Amino acid sequence: MSVYRHMARLIDRMRDRHPPSTGARMNRSALTADSEALVFLNRNQQVQYASPEFFRQFGGSAEELCGRPFRNLVAPDLREGLESHLKQLLLGARDKYSHRTALLRRSASPLIATLTATALKGSSPNRALAIQLARPADGYASRAASRGTSLSEMSVKVLEGTAAGLTSEFLAAHLFISRQAVDYHIARMLRQFGMPNRAALIALAYSTGILKTGTWPPRVADGLVK
C-alpha cells in the first residue's frame, strides 16, 4: 500500500471516530499507527491531529502542539519554501510533495527527515494535508557523514562559525579570507553531504556527530580534520 493511500485511510478512520462536531483535536490514542511520525494539518497549516511518534519526536503533548503552526517546527531557512509548496497542495495545484528537510526538536538535535505531504481530497475550503516524516534508513546518517567527513582545517572553521550563526562577511574578516572563499567552503560541504542549504547542513552535522553536542561555541568532533 502506498504511503498516500495509507494516510488517506488513516485520516478516514480518525474522522469516523471523531467527527467534526466533536472538535478538531484528538489525543494520541485516536491513532493506530503508533510507530509512524504522521501529522495532519488544517487549511491554515496548523497541526490538527498527530501520531504518538510525532509527539514523541517533538517532545510535546496534543494540548501543546495541536493548533500550532507547522512552520514553527521547521528550520527557519526552510519555512518559506515549505509553506509555498503546502499552499499549492491546499489550493489543489498538486497532489503530493516530498523533500528532505530539517525540523527543530525541543530537547534533541534537529531531525533530518524526508517530508512527504499529500492533499486529502475534499472541497477546497475544507482541504487538509497529511504529512509523513520518514527518518533515513539505519546507517544512512553515518554513511552520509562518511562520504566526506575528512574536512580541511578551513572548512572546519567555516562550519563551526556557520553553526554559531555568524555571517559570511564576519567569517571572512575573522578568518582573513574573502567572502567568496567562505561561500566556496560552504558550497563544497553542501555537495559532500547532499544538503540543500546551511540550516540542513548544520542539522546533519549535529545529528551525525560531526559537530559536538552540549558545547558552545560549536566545535567539530576530534579526528575529522585532514
Does 146 fall in a domain?
Answer: yes
- Is 114 in contact with 137 (CB distance < 8 Å)? no
Does 222 fall in a domain?
Answer: no
Does 56 fall in a domain?
Answer: yes
Residues 85 and 151 in one domain: no
Residues 78 and 161 in one domain: no
Q: Which domain holds residue 35?
A: 3-134
pLDDT averaged over 10-residue windows placed end to end, the chain, 226 residues: 50 46 36 65 90 85 89 84 91 86 76 84 69 65 51 91 91 94 93 84 80 82 72
Confidence (pLDDT) at 5: 53
Residues 8 and 119 in one domain: yes
CA angle 51, 193, 183 (to 5 degrees): 120
Confidence (pLDDT) at 176: 94
Confidence (pLDDT) at 226: 67
Confidence (pLDDT) at 112: 75
- Is 96 in contact with 118 (CB distance < 8 Å)? yes
CA atoms within 13 A on the CB side of 175: 25
Residues 111 and 12 in one domain: yes
Confidence (pLDDT) at 113: 78
Confidence (pLDDT) at 122: 61
Name the β-bridge partners of 96. 118
Confidence (pLDDT) at 9: 58
Confidence (pLDDT) at 126: 61
Residue 15: CATH number of its domain: 3.30.450.20
